[in-house]
Amino acid sequence: MVRIIWIMLKEIEKWEVEWLKQESIGALFIARLGSLACVTLVAYFLTTLLVALAISIGSHSNSFIVSLNYNYMWAPPLLILCPLIIPLLTNWFNRGFRYSTIIANFFDMVILVKFDVTSLSFMFELMGFISYIVGNIYLTLYAAGAFIDKETLVKFVEENKISLLSIIGLVHIVIYLTIRVLILPEEEVMQQLVKYRREFWIWMGTLVFTLSYITIKLFSPFNSIEFIYLTFVLLIALVRIIDVYKKLSCVVEKIKVSENPGL
């Protein structure tokens, strides 16, 4: 589905660029119809994902919260369209602003950063990640046994099993991701691509999990300090996603130049 939308966006981009080259106001308005078409495609794509997610959650849980009401199905795409259409309206008469190019480049990036979860490399990476975390949780407890009395340690672990193991596991997850992502070499273009792609998914995962956690917490008492903390986590994740996206854009341009030296 992503590739089909990407092909359509590329065709709309060519159409908009051709009309923007003409000087008349009528040509400008026709070109902006291409931008509107791109925004509509994005809204359709995101709405489809949202509906699929709602159906998936509803079919795997007995919760009354998630249920599809088709009488209000017009609202989600409009909610998505509103922020997307603001840049177009504010740059309507700016001929240098090609919204279709921006959106098409974004889908270029989506195709570039996607992971093949069925590939052997991903499977080995996942198995290595799980083995590292589980192994180091046990190793940490044995290491603590070198400094703490065995009976005291066992009693403490039994009383605080979930919270203790969660904290230890979280520490080792951070260490693993730091090793596998943040300290990767980035001298060559393909090394930069691998590193930035992994960074993108780390921050995207942070954003999604934080939003999911906030959604769950909306149905229970919400501490104001916790709300402020989660808000800053979302802001940091968004800033980092935008920063990594810009870096990936530069990498894509370098790859295109290397593949087409005449450009």
Which residues have CB under 8 Å from 145's CB, separation 6+?
153
Buried b (16+ CB within 10 A) or exposed e, 112-149: bbeeeeeeeeeeeeeeeeeebbeebbeebbeeeeeeee
Write down the pLDDT at residue 58.
59
Q: Which domain holds residue 97?
A: 2-113
Q: Which parts of the chain register pLDDT below 50?
A: none
- pTM over 0.75? The answer is no
Write down the pLDDT at residue 57.
59
CB–CB of 186/204 below 8 Å? no
Q: In total, how many domains does the chain have?
A: 3
Please indicate, yes or no, whether residues 7 and 89 belong to a single structural domain of this protein. Answer: yes
Rounded CA gap, 172 and 166, in Å?
Answer: 10
Write down the pLDDT at residue 20.
87
Rounded CA gap, 63 and 201, in Å?
Answer: 29
131, 159, 183: which is the final residue of a domain? 183
Please indicate, yes or no, whether residues 79 and 40 belong to a single structural domain of this protein. Answer: yes
What Å distances lie between residue 255 and 83, 85, 190, 258, CA to CA?
31, 30, 9, 5
Write down the pLDDT at residue 131.
93
Q: Look up residue 1 and give its DSSP letter.
A: -
Write down the pLDDT at residue 135.
92
Please indicate, yes or no, whether residues 102 and 60 belong to a single structural domain of this protein. Answer: yes
Pull the structure tokens for residue 28. Answer: 């400008």
Please indicate, yes or no, whether residues 9 and 102 belong to a single structural domain of this protein. Answer: yes
Write down the pLDDT at residue 43.
86
